Each structure stands twice: as structure tokens, then as C-alpha cells.
Amino acid sequence: MDENIQVRMDGYIELFEKLKEKTGAETVALALLQELAKDRRTDEMREQKEAKNNEPATPKQKRFMDDLGIKYPKTVTKKEASMLIGEELGRNGG
């Protein structure tokens, strides 16, 4: 088994045992562990989305901004381009 997977699995088992001890119920401990895993995954997805938003704007976004006559900096990000496009379309009934 991959060492990283083994380390994670050991951590989950340790956490499960602590939750089980604290709650006194295996089913409650399992439910809490599942919720913690969901929270962790949601945080990871949020971080990935934020990182993606900070990538340079796509050529398609830049062409569309050019077509709309939007002035933008060379370093415009995907998120910034999206906001600029949305604002322009909102002003023009897009």
C-alpha cells in the first residue's frame, strides 16, 4: 500500500477511535468522521477553485473582453475577467 495512503488511513483510524471514546457510540463516531471528511473535501475543493480563479484569463475570455471593448490589464485573472465580463453584460442588458 502506498505510504501516504497508509499514513492517512492510520490517522483516520486514530481519529475514529478518539471519537468513539469521546461519544461512547461507534455509530455516532462514524457519522462524525464522515462529516469531518466531507468538510475537509469541501475545503479542498474551495482551495482548488480559488487557485484556478487566480490563473491567467483564458484566450477566449480575452477575446470576448476585446469584443465587448473592455480594457483589462495584461495580468488579468480568470476571476477578474469573469467579473469584468459580467459587469459589462449587466450594463448592456447582456
What mean pLDDT is predicted for residues 33-56? 93
One domain, residues 9 and 45? yes
One domain, residues 25 and 64? no
Question: Residue 92: its pLDDT value, please?
Answer: 76
One domain, residues 45 and 63? no
Domain range enclosing 38: 3-53
Question: Residue 29: its pLDDT value, please?
Answer: 95
Give backbone dihedrals phi and psi of 75, rounded to 5 degrees, phi first. -95, 20
Which residues, other chains included, contact 72 with Cβ-Cβ below 8 Å and sequence gap of 6+? 57, 62, 65, 80, 81, 84
Is the Cβ–Cβ distance between 29 and 19 less than 8 Å? yes
Q: Provide the pLDDT confidence category of residue 94 given band limits of 50, 70 and 90.
A: low
One domain, residues 70 and 48? no
Q: What is the residue-averaged pLDDT of the chain?
A: 93
The total number of structural domains that make up the chain: 2
Convert the pLDDT of each residue in 46-70 to its tens digit.
999 888 889 999 999 999 999 999 9
One domain, residues 76 and 34? no
Question: Residue 2: its pLDDT value, please?
Answer: 87
One domain, residues 49 and 24? yes
Q: Say whether 93 sits in a helix, a strand or coil.
A: coil
Q: What percent of the chain has pLDDT over 70?
A: 98
pTM for the whole thing? 0.56
Is the Cβ–Cβ distance between 63 and 81 less than 8 Å? no
